[in-house]
Amino acid sequence: MIFKELIERFVSGDRAACAKLISLIEEDSPQAVEILGSVYSKVGQAHRIGITGPPGAGKSTLVEKLTTLIRKEDRSVAIVAVDPTSPFSGGAILGDRVRMSSLFCDPNVFIRSMATRGSLGGLAFKTRAVCDLLDAFGNDVILIETVGVGQAELDVAKAAQTTLVVLVPESGDGIQAMKAGLMEIGDIFVVNKSDREGADRLAVEIETMLEMHPQNNSWRPRVFKTSAEKGEGIESLFVGIVEHRLFLEKHHFFRDFQKENIRLDITQMVEQRLNESFWNDPRMNRFLEEFVDKAASGEISPYAAACKLWEKWQQRRKK
Amino acid sequence: MIFKELIERFVSGDRAACAKLISLIEEDSPQAVEILGSVYSKVGQAHRIGITGPPGAGKSTLVEKLTTLIRKEDRSVAIVAVDPTSPFSGGAILGDRVRMSSLFCDPNVFIRSMATRGSLGGLAFKTRAVCDLLDAFGNDVILIETVGVGQAELDVAKAAQTTLVVLVPESGDGIQAMKAGLMEIGDIFVVNKSDREGADRLAVEIETMLEMHPQNNSWRPRVFKTSAEKGEGIESLFVGIVEHRLFLEKHHFFRDFQKENIRLDITQMVEQRLNESFWNDPRMNRFLEEFVDKAASGEISPYAAACKLWEKWQQRRKK
């Protein structure tokens, strides 16, 4: 009853209801699947833009400036910041968000942090789910900002149709970006803090690397220089983002993107149920602990233990 | 037959056999489980040290210098570098490894890169498995170096008994480390490039953050300043590493560590089999594609589709 009311309030555009539904998804509420199912017909309108890059590259400031620009065109924006939840980090991340205080008061800007703890596939799945919800809520643009530059962040980046890789002129930053696997995921590269020395060189470095490795679809990644702090280069960057969107639409990549997301979602949900059905069986947990003890005492290897646990499961299924 | 010979050569200390067996694990060879099972009784002697931190912090150089120091004590070292495999990155990473050329010729130093592609749980699992193998091979110390600072890297860090977090004096690097979730995983913090301005301030920042958040076990994380490039501070750091090892031994944490790894290994292997048993059924794949199409055309939500796919599986099991 309360749940049905929440959905109704969500559909009527109530931000508090939207926030509440996001929380239910984040908390793995059993109703999450129902929520998403009931609003899914409205999904597919928003442009999802990922902003990734090493810590300290100025991503939050860039997100703020892009949001201000998009709001000038009277389009609504949701910001999803994928942050680690850490007893150490609470304050720092809030610090970043406080800088966005100018946006906090705008009813057409929705800001949300998400935690990176828990299962990794789970985070990418939840990010997609939250984006679906924000999309169904009627947001025109969704900005997905990640904090780190690891594999999980690359997976989260896949939730975006357009991915911005933000770098700063530091010694060897281009090389570091390559090493972190950022070169392949960028549709647009941003050399931020471009008033620093080495900005031109970094831009050339990126261009060179891109030329050496043509992308498999026909989009040619572009490089922009910005100074988010000073608000320089943001408009040109935004034109580049819009061009990428038009390119995707022209080649029907939006549909491919959606199908791939659906496939990932279904696979993830089914595998989660499979694992739950296994571990919800108390006997399997008991067997696990027995085998852990045996392996720790050297009686059996963990690998043989896994085989035996699997056999137990198979036997149980046959009964 | 050839496989049995490989194991025999491994046990007799043949490095080529060790490298080949690692490859089989990396490639998800069906023999991987057998390999690990057959050598598992020899696992548990090596000290596993993780080296993590943002790109550009000088981790590779630090690893090189630590290795040289450990070799002076006539102990054998294996280096596992967890790198992303990227069409862009091949050269760059090789570049880093080439700097270790002084170590390449030492028969008691084993250097191995591992790819971060593929499933994330899978990477942490494989890192543990490769460390088990290198441990069984008789290495005294295993250094596990990660490239990025994301969630996957944090998971990989768990494969180590002692974790070094390497930072450099850059504006706000302490804060960035907090955001990336590095503060909780460090047993030892290294302020590298300590000849740069701001090194003392960063060290104080880290000390302050650590004081604010006491660890749950009784180890008090320590902070060291080094200049890996110049070889400064490496010996003090190494003393700190040995102290951490003695602490772990004294409190029997090695055994806890091993049990936790065993539990993770068994869980991972069983869940992988579960998922395989699902997707090896061609009907499930056919149903998946049907549901993806239906969801893409708006006929059904992906969430409802997952439920239906699960029902199909349940029905099939009952027959």
Whether residue A176 is predicted with pLDDT greater than 70 in this model: the reply is no
Whether residue B78 contacts residue B139, with contact meaning beta carbons closer than 8 Å, is answered with yes
Give the whole-number percent of chain A exceeding pLDDT 70.
82
Whether residue B93 is predicted with pLDDT greater than 80 in this model: the reply is no
* Residues B37 and B122 placed together within one structural domain of the fold: no
Whether residue B79 contacts residue B145, with contact meaning beta carbons closer than 8 Å, is answered with yes
Q: Considering the domain boundaries, does residue B273 fall inside one?
A: no
Model confidence at A48, pLDDT cuts 50, 70, 90, reads very high
Residue A266 to residue B309, Cβ atoms within 8 A = yes
Domain end, chosen from A233, A252, A271, is at A252
What is the per-residue pLDDT for A90?
41
* Residues B218 and B125 placed together within one structural domain of the fold: yes
Whole-number Å distance between alpha carbons of B145 and B49: 9
User: Once rounded to an integer, what is the mean pLDDT over residues A132-142?
Assistant: 95
Q: Which among B209, B262, B278 has CB closest to A292? A: B262
What is the per-residue pLDDT for B65?
94
Taking CB atoms within 8 Å and a gap of at least 24, the contacts of B267-270 are: B267/A288, B268/B121, B268/B122, B268/B125, B269/A302, B269/A303, B269/A306, B269/A310, B269/B33, B269/B125, B270/A278, B270/A306, B270/A309, B270/A310, B270/A313
Q: Which residue has the higher pLDDT, B71 or A85?
A: B71
User: Once rounded to an integer, what is the mean pLDDT over residues B169-179?
Assistant: 65
User: Once rounded to an integer, what is the mean pLDDT over residues B38-58?
Assistant: 87
Q: Considering the domain boundaries, does residue B271 fall inside one?
A: no
* Residues A143 and A291 placed together within one structural domain of the fold: no
Whether residue B124 contacts residue B159, with contact meaning beta carbons closer than 8 Å, is answered with yes
Whether residue A69 is predicted with pLDDT greater than 90 in this model: the reply is yes
What is the per-residue pLDDT for B191?
94
Whole-number Å distance between alpha carbons of A249 and A262: 18
For residue B74, give how far its alpha carbon lies from the nearest alpha carbon of chain A (Å): 28
The whole-model pTM stands at 0.73
User: Once rounded to an integer, what is the mean pLDDT over residues B150-171?
Assistant: 79
Whether residue B90 is predicted with pLDDT greater than 50 in this model: the reply is no
Give the whole-number percent of chain B exceeding pLDDT 90.
39
For residue B16, give how far its alpha carbon lies from the nearest alpha carbon of chain A (Å): 23
Whole-number Å distance between alpha carbons of A102 and A105: 6
> Which residues of chain A lie closer than 8 angstroms to B92, CB-CB?
175, 178-179
> Which residues of chain B lie closer than 8 angstroms to A313, CB-CB?
270
What is the per-residue pLDDT for B237?
97
What is the per-residue pLDDT for A94?
45
What is the per-residue pLDDT for B121?
54
Domain end, chosen from B251, B273, B303, is at B251
Chain centroid offset of residue B302 CA: 34
Q: Considering the domain boundaries, does residue B266 fall inside one?
A: no
For residue range B96-110, list pLDDT tens digits in order.
Answer: 554 566 676 788 888
Whether residue A225 is predicted with pLDDT greater than 90 in this model: the reply is yes
Model confidence at B319, pLDDT cuts 50, 70, 90, reads low
* Strands lying side by side in the sheet with B77-83: B109-115, B77-83, B141-146, B47-52, B162-167, B188-191, B222-225
Residue in B closest to A309 by C-alpha? B270
Q: Which three-class secondary structure state does DSSP give residue B20?
A: helix
The residue segments making up the domain with residue B62 are 43-251
* Residues B155 and B287 placed together within one structural domain of the fold: no
* Residues B245 and B217 placed together within one structural domain of the fold: yes
Q: Which stretch of DSSP H or E encloses residue B146?
A: strand B141-146
What is the per-residue pLDDT for B244?
95
Q: Considering the domain boundaries, does residue B11 fall inside one?
A: yes
Residue B116 to residue A213, Cβ atoms within 8 A = no
Identify which of A13, A245, A21 has the alpha carbon closest to the alpha carbon of residue A132: A21
Work out the number of other CB atoms within 10 angstroms of the CB of residue B28. 11
- Write down the mean pLDDT value for chain B: 83
Residue A84 to residue B181, Cβ atoms within 8 A = yes
For residue range B217-239, list pLDDT tens digits in order.
Answer: 688 899 999 999 999 999 999 99
Q: Which among A92, A172, A295 has CB closest to B262? A: A295
Whole-number Å distance between alpha carbons of A149 and A43: 28
Whole-number Å distance between alpha carbons of A301 and A294: 8
Whether residue B126 contacts residue B22, with contact meaning beta carbons closer than 8 Å, is answered with no
For residue range B179-214, list pLDDT tens digits in order.
Answer: 666 777 889 999 999 998 889 988 998 888 888 766
* Residues A91 and A204 placed together within one structural domain of the fold: yes
* Residues A219 and A303 placed together within one structural domain of the fold: no
Model confidence at A239, pLDDT cuts 50, 70, 90, reads very high
Model confidence at A232, pLDDT cuts 50, 70, 90, reads very high
Q: Which among B36, B87, B180 has CB closest to A148? A: B180
Where in chain A does DSSP place strands (E)? 47-52, 77-83, 109-115, 141-146, 162-167, 188-191, 222-225
Q: Considering the domain boundaries, does residue B259 fall inside one?
A: no
What is the per-residue pLDDT for B107?
82
For residue B201, give every residue at least 6 positions away whose Cβ sits within 8 Å of its Cβ, in sequence order, or none: B169
Q: Considering the domain boundaries, does residue A55 fall inside one?
A: yes
User: Once rounded to an integer, what is the mean pLDDT over residues A47-51?
Assistant: 94
What is the per-residue pLDDT for B87?
40
Task: Supply the CATH number for residue B130's domain.
Answer: 3.40.50.300
For residue range A205-224, list pLDDT tens digits in order.
Answer: 888 888 876 665 688 899 99
Whether residue B15 contacts residue B78, with contact meaning beta carbons closer than 8 Å, is answered with no
* Residues A292 and A181 placed together within one structural domain of the fold: no
Model confidence at A194, pLDDT cuts 50, 70, 90, reads very high
Whole-number Å distance between alpha carbons of B76 and B74: 7
Residue A148 to residue B123, Cβ atoms within 8 A = no
* Residues A47 and A156 placed together within one structural domain of the fold: yes
Q: Which residue has the higher pLDDT, A188 or B90?
A: A188
Q: Which among B36, B149, B317 has CB closest to A303? A: B36
* Residues A22 and A54 placed together within one structural domain of the fold: no
What is the per-residue pLDDT for B235?
96
Instruction: Count the alpha carbons within 13 Å of A77 in the hemisphere toward its beta carbon.
Output: 24
Model confidence at B131, pLDDT cuts 50, 70, 90, reads very high
User: Once rounded to an integer, what is the mean pLDDT over residues A118-132?
Assistant: 75
Q: Which residue has the higher pLDDT, B180 or A66?
A: A66
Q: Which of A120-129, A264-273, B19-28 has the lowest mean pLDDT?
A: A120-129
For residue range A90-114, list pLDDT tens digits in order.
Answer: 434 444 554 566 676 788 888 887 7
Model confidence at A148, pLDDT cuts 50, 70, 90, reads low
Instruction: Count the alpha carbons within 13 Å of B14 in the hemisphere toward its beta carbon.
Output: 12
What is the per-residue pLDDT for B176?
65
What is the per-residue pLDDT for A34?
82
For residue range A270-289, list pLDDT tens digits in order.
Answer: 988 898 889 999 999 999 99
Residue A86 to residue B155, Cβ atoms within 8 A = no
Chain centroid offset of residue A62 CA: 17
Q: Considering the domain boundaries, does residue A63 fall inside one?
A: yes
Identify which of A219, A215, A214, A222 has the alpha carbon closest to the alpha carbon of residue A253: A219
* Residues B184 and B314 placed together within one structural domain of the fold: no
Q: Which of A171-175, B62-66, B142-146, B186-190 has the lowest mean pLDDT?
A: A171-175
Q: Considering the domain boundaries, does residue A259 fall inside one?
A: no
Whether residue B244 contacts residue B162, with contact meaning beta carbons closer than 8 Å, is answered with yes
For residue range B145-156, list pLDDT tens digits in order.
Answer: 886 656 666 777
Residue in A closest to B117 by C-alpha? A151
What is the per-residue pLDDT for B253?
86
Residue A173 to residue B317, Cβ atoms within 8 A = no
For residue B56, give how far its alpha carbon lies from the nearest alpha carbon of chain A (Å): 7
Q: Which among A36, A120, A177 has CB closest to B301? A: A36
| Number of domains within chain B | 3
Q: Any idea which residue has 């530059």 for tokens?
A: A149
Chain centroid offset of residue B236 CA: 24
- Write down the mean pLDDT value for chain A: 83
* Residues A30 and A140 placed together within one structural domain of the fold: no
